[in-house]
Amino acid sequence: MTVAALSEAAAGRDDLSVWPASTSRLRHGGLSVGGVSLTEIAERFDTPVYVLDEGEVRARCRTYRDAFPEADVLYAAKAFLSRAMVRWMDEEGFGLDVCSAGELELAVTSGFLPERITLHGNAKSPRDIATALRLGVGRIVIDSPSEIARLAAAVGPDGRQKVLVRVVPGVSAGGHEKIRTGTAGQKFGLSLTDGSAQHAIARILGQPQLEPAGLHCHIGSQITEVKPYVAALRRMVGLMARIRDSHGIVLPELNMGGGHGIAYRPGEPALDLTALARRLRTELLESCAAAGLAVPRLAIEPGRAVVGPAGVALYRVLAVKQTGDRGFVAVDGGMSDNPRPALYGVRYAPRLVGRSSTAPDRTATVVGRHCEAGDILAADVQLPGDVHPGDLLAVPVAGAYHLSMASGYNLVGRPPVVAVHEGTARLLVRRETLEDIRHRDIGG
């Protein structure tokens, strides 16, 4: 490798642009996040382990509040939820968007006001609905025609429940085909183009137990451009105007969902939040004025963009080998704690931490310990050529959809979550142990 190439590789290793803002370089190749050494966290809590920077989470919440001062901002709990996360969202003035009775109960039992929670789901179970009504959830999103009668019956003749109708606006956006939800042909919502959404509103108006509070749409995930959101908002306002003209009601709320894209590797694009807020505000005012419609209260539901960049996953290297022309670095985690590369082809930028290396970089694929050829955490990345068993690898942007999507594959147990803040590390979610796994298996 030439001197220029070596310098470029060293610069790449030194790029902390996708790491939490609190990340600092330490001596001998170490890094600290939230004032705590990652090496010390690995030694204290073992690996794999998720590290979550509380300060980064709170700072991102405040960025949203500043960008959308007149809107309701709800945290999408599916990205990551714990009792501490519930408390942080409460203290930062966020609402919550949940998708199950489990997420809802955890939030409410952690002290979150149920009226500030919205329940989603394309196939809500009887338990989901019963729990939402028992706890007094603020809004329930209607996702299919069959939910209308079921929900009205569950509410009962003397009850009243605010609902939103999830609309598919016909806008394609998202970082992968499996996370594009704004067009027809997928499981979510009611189509704007075939009249399903308007028909659902008419049916809801025939149920006195249900109060139509507004419309909802979510066009996809990992969206890095503002334009699709503006197009979706314009269509949603048009539908609100048609509902007014057809039924004589003005819906007071418009929830534009989330899906705000973030950078997983240096140089990747991320959604410009300031531009998004400005364009949505302008389009909402102009579209409502053109339609002679009262401006509804706007709501958004970020998840990944709040917690994703605040997380770091730590792994210990177990094996290094060359197979043909490919080098593999195997670690003590894998698709059981991060299935996203296997599901969506997400690419991460792992980094050697805890020791310095002057060895030239070489291309390697970081793989997990599981019995699947697709158990890949990071394909074709640059790592020092002397990486060996016992080394510590850190993967930034690991706060969203890691623990929440973790599985029990190979019965290895799910990793713990450790919060760091102002020089202190504390356990939020403990490691799942073999004893936990044995206790669940009661067969003889």
Structure token pair of residue 47: 């690996």
Report CA torsion sign: 407, 410, 412, 413. positive
Say which DSSP state 369 is in. Answer: S
Annotated ligand binding at 303? The verdict is yes
Task: For residue 377, give the nearest of 354, 405, 400, 343 by alpha carbon.
Answer: 343
Annotated ligand binding at 401? The verdict is yes
Q: Residue 149: which H helix or E strand, with range?
A: helix 145-155
> What is the rounded CA–CA span in Å between residue 256 and residue 233?
7
Annotated ligand binding at 348? The verdict is no
Structure token pair of residue 334: 């894998």
Question: CA of 327: how far to CAs of 10, 348, 381, in Å?
Answer: 20, 17, 10
> What is the rounded CA–CA span in Å between residue 92 and residue 94?
6
Annotated ligand binding at 248? The verdict is no
Give me the active site residues, please: 371
**Tokens 């060293």 label which residue?**
10
First to last CA, the chain: 60
> What is the rounded CA–CA span in Å between residue 117 and residue 133?
12
Annotated ligand binding at 372? The verdict is yes
> What is the rounded CA–CA span in Å between residue 70 and residue 68?
6
Annotated ligand binding at 211? The verdict is no
Annotated ligand binding at 344? The verdict is yes
> What is the rounded CA–CA span in Å between residue 167 and residue 300?
15
> What is the rounded CA–CA span in Å between residue 413 and residue 435?
10
Annotated ligand binding at 50? The verdict is no
Please give the biggest Cα pair distance in the chain.
77
> What's the residue count for the chain?
444
Instruction: Name the amino acid, one letter, at 202.
Output: A
Beta-bridge mates of residue 191: 168
Pairing of strands 376-384, 361-367: antiparallel
> What is the rounded CA–CA span in Å between residue 42 and residue 235?
49
The beta-strand segments (E) located in 54-105 are 72-76, 95-98
Task: For residue 362, give the nearest of 4, 5, 33 by alpha carbon.
Answer: 5
Say which DSSP state 275 is in. Answer: H
Q: How far does CA 115 lie from the centroid of its chain?
A: 22
Binding residues for pyridoxal 5'-phosphate: 259, 301-304, 401
Binding residues for substrate: 304, 340, 344, 372, 401
Binding residues: 259, 301-304, 340, 344, 372, 401
